[in-house]
A and B are shown apart, each in its own frame.
Chain A
Amino acid sequence: MAVLGVVSIAGLVETRRRVGRLRVERGMAALRLAARGGARYASNAPKLFATAGEHRQQLRNDLALQTAEDVATTLGTMKGVLMKLGQMASYVDAGLTPAARRTLSRLQDSVPPMSPELAARVVTEELGLPPEQAFATWDPVPIAAASIGQVHRAITLDGRAVAVKVQYPGIAETIEADLSNVGLLRRMLKITAPSQDVDALLAELRERITEELDYRAEARNQQLFARYYEGHPTIHVPGIVEELSTRRLVTSDLADGARFAELAGWSQAERDLAGETIYRFVFRSLYEMHAFNGDPHPGNYLFHGGGRVTFLDFGLVKHFTDDELRPLVEMVKHLCVENDPSAFRAAMVEAGFLMPDTPLPTEEIIEHMALFYDTVRERGPRTMTGEYASAVSRRFFDFRSPLTPYAAIPRSYVILQRINLGLFALLGELSATADWRCIAEEIWPFVRGPACTPIGAAETTWLAGRRGAEHAGQAVR
């Protein structure tokens, strides 16, 4: 039933499974892209400020939270924790029963926004000045809800149009208190994930959630992505205003664009381009930045046409060390490029996905794993489908597989599963078509293939400029 659907999140967070991988492809009608590549995302601040208001989310302002006690009543006794768990799980189809999904989304709906006064108090506490003084223009009515806060639009004193995410007062303490008392969670996790190491799972959940309660980490991560993708033809990450970002505030450049739901009304060609950009973003970030943005929620994208996408919300970013990343690279290389099954198997063991003495033939292991690489094993256009995304999800949760007793997901890779599954589901929903293999070859560090789409060509130019700039920078140093 509903309750512990929640905890099949366990399944989510922890368990077994594979690193999915790529897909991708080629393009479409995209010559105009190159022409548009340089188009600016942001226009002038007052105009952007105004248009961002037009997309204001409908919030129950009549029930606004007025005090920190209201926050504790609304989000205490596990509700805040459940919301965070739900957020982590929400984009994985197979992870949750429909009842659990409904419960979690209703829970999210049940949290009213802060009253203007309460939000202003948080800003004042964080910045030492009331919002009307800290900003040139401050809209007291939020434009959007965030899981543990809300977003206000504003214009800074030096004229930047910004989005200010304000955290509910007391929410961090409330959630931390619930996470420090884990008796109930432990018992419930044991029901849904009886075979798992519940304490390790709890530790992982706790770490992830706690991390998200401090907006400074989020600001740092977003700034990292914003700098890396600066000038990119289709990937836009709003920059952070560091002096206006604190533990409970994140201030970033305001962005506006079409929401995911609106893409339903766009041409398939546009949807393909959007899918290609999201795909490139995920894998370029992984292979080049060694970082993964763990929250591929549809609400975290804004679409601008021509494949241009703004990426929002960097609350859940995982950074990989070289040692952590290497086996993943080896796996894809051996399976998809060098076609060397035993090297693939060895890389799985090195990564900790597979026990060293697993008494199963390599063919069987490959057969089980191949689904995750299905879209990048061969060249040619492929259409992502919801069925494929579900098949990957199902295999992810396939506890009957003969591989199950010997498979594991080492803790540092746990987050990958969420992203892979989230990405597949998202691209499936777009029915995005591309030669995913060819795009992957552009990005794979052991191939670095030539551009195979207009976006790829534009990206090549951007990369060249970027590397040039880096070299120039190094020379100066």
Chain B
Amino acid sequence: MTAEPSAAMSGLVERSAAAYVAAVPDHPRDDGFFGPASVTWRVASDLSAPVAGLRSLLMQALHPLAMAGVDQHSDWRRDPVGRLAATSAYEAIVTFGDRASATAVAERVRAIHTRVQGVDTVTGLPYAAGDPALLLWVHAALVDSGLAAGRLFGTPLTGADADTYVREMTIAAELLGVPHEIIPASVAELDRYFTEVRPELRCTPAAAESMSYLLDPPGLDSDLAELWQDIRDASIATLPEWAVGEYGYQLPAPVTAERRNEIRQALGVLDAVFLGEPGVLEARQRIALRARSAGKA
């Protein structure tokens, strides 16, 4: 397979910020599929969100067929930053956009998925990106990561809120074509799903390669690279033990209170940097104002 990695990661903050700003609407026609009072908005705005994002990718890559689709069809090697920015823009539109925007962007992704199919060279199995089973895996990994990152490094949700979050997020999977009845709608159902799917998961060479790139991306400015180490360590610390084992990473030491603070500080500095990008503050204020007026209503 494949070309060697790969383009440098410069411009990560700038391009992610631009994608985020474009995704948060100025004048939404409605509150979208979640709304300002939702747990989903809280999770998406949590300090731990970058850890959740990186952990999602680490989890998602462990499904050989999902990984094969990315590996054989995505241009991540040529433009890794563009790939990440597009993904976070998608999530932001689905989360904060109005229903029409969220539906439209999901339709576009579904159209792309129809063209993404092939045969995984490791398992020899055919795959199709539109396969609900793969989409469900990607979805479950994302939702689970939001919970796990928040629990360790963000503002942990209560049990009831965690259930609400999992239930709210089912719509995100539906938008991409996963039948409602197979989507976990509570933390317990989510856990059950992970137990069921576990035998299908493994670290393929493609997963190892792309994730080692992501964990130590070339081309970051030195100060950003310093912060990235903390985000990376934090993401690995939130992984289930079996996932760490699949990658062959050293099992991380338990996170001490001091280390947790340091990681939260790194997340705070990263957030400040993000906030410095044009339009980000205004986008945040749009979200905060909507959340506040929902709180009063």
Contact = CB atoms under 8 A, between A and B. Distances in A.
A60 B285 contact: yes
Nearest to A178: B265
B272 A82 contact: yes
Interface stretch (B55-63, B137-145, B220-228): B220-228
A103 B275 CA distance: 7
A11 to B, nearest CB: 14
A79 B268 contact: yes
A106 B223 contact: no
B50 to A, nearest CB: 12
A82 B269 CA distance: 8
Interface string A180-191: 010111011001
Contact of A192 (B223, B268, B272): B223
B189 to A, nearest CB: 31
B110 interface: no
| Interface SS of B by simple majority | helix
Max chain A CB contacts within 10 Å: which of B221, B230, B269, B270?
B269
A6 B273 CA distance: 10
B289 A63 contact: yes
B262 interface: yes
Interface in A103-131: 103-104, 106-107, 109-110
Interface residues of A, number: 32
B289 A183 contact: no
A79 B223 contact: no
B268 A76 contact: yes
B275 to A, nearest CB: 5
B264 A99 contact: no
B222 A191 contact: yes
B276 A102 contact: yes
Contacts of B13: 1-2
A457 interface: no
B129 interface: no
A103 B272 contact: yes
B276 A103 contact: yes
Contacts of B261: 177, 181
B292 A99 contact: no
A7 interface: yes
A184 B143 CA distance: 29
B281 interface: yes
Interface string B42-63: 0000010000000000000000
B119 interface: no
A467 B264 CA distance: 56
B143 to A, nearest CB: 24
B258 interface: yes
A3 interface: yes
A62 interface: yes
A66 to B, nearest CB: 9
Interface of B: 13, 47, 221-224, 226-227, 230, 258, 261-262, 264-273, 275-276, 280-281, 284-285, 288-289, 292
9 contacts: A3-B223, A3-B270, A63-B285, A77-B265, A82-B272, A106-B275, A109-B281, A177-B261, A191-B226
Cβ-closest 7 pairs across A and B: A77-B268, A103-B276, A4-B223, A78-B268, A1-B221, A3-B223, A184-B265
